[in-house]
């Protein structure tokens, strides 16, 4: 499975917040969600969409501490890696 990207997160966030794609989020990965204009409701919806779309459950305590898109993506990718099936080499 490929890694979840900041671009994918921003696409989901745009859909949750009803923003136009014209909003420039190119340098926003390290800015706090609140400074980007995303409230907790938009973030909760994004979390739900990511979980459903990727088939994972994000730990509430960890997601609650995430302040930036880059940190959110790191949490998602860590969960994807943790939940990936282990493939054993044929012997």
The predicted model scores a pTM of 0.83
Q: What local confidence, expressed as pLDDT, does residue 88 receive?
A: 63
Note whether residue 55 is domain-resident: yes
Eight-state DSSP code of residue 90: P
Arithmetic mean of pLDDT, 24-31: 78
25 — pLDDT class (breaks 50, 70, 90): low
Please state, rounded to an integer, the average pLDDT across all residues of the chain. Answer: 85
> Distance from CA of residue 21 to its chain's centroid?
17
Note whether residue 91 is domain-resident: no
Note whether residue 88 is domain-resident: no
Residue 38 in 3-state DSSP? coil
Structural domain boundaries enclosing 32? 6-83
CB 67, CB 32: distance < 8 Å: yes
Q: What local confidence, expressed as pLDDT, does residue 60 receive?
A: 87
CB 54, CB 4: distance < 8 Å: yes
């Amino acid at each position: 499975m490929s890694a979840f990207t900041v671009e994918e997160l921003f696409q989901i966030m745009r859909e949750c917040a009803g923003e136009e794609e014209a909003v420039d989020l190119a340098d926003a990965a390290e800015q706090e969600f609140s400074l980007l204009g995303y409230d907790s409701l938009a973030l909760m919806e994004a979390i739900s969409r990511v979980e459903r779309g990727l088939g994972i459950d994000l730990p509430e305590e960890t997601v609650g501490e995430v302040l930036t898109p880059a940190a959110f993506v790191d949490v998602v990718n860590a969960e994807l890696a943790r939940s990936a099936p282990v493939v054993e080499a044929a012997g």
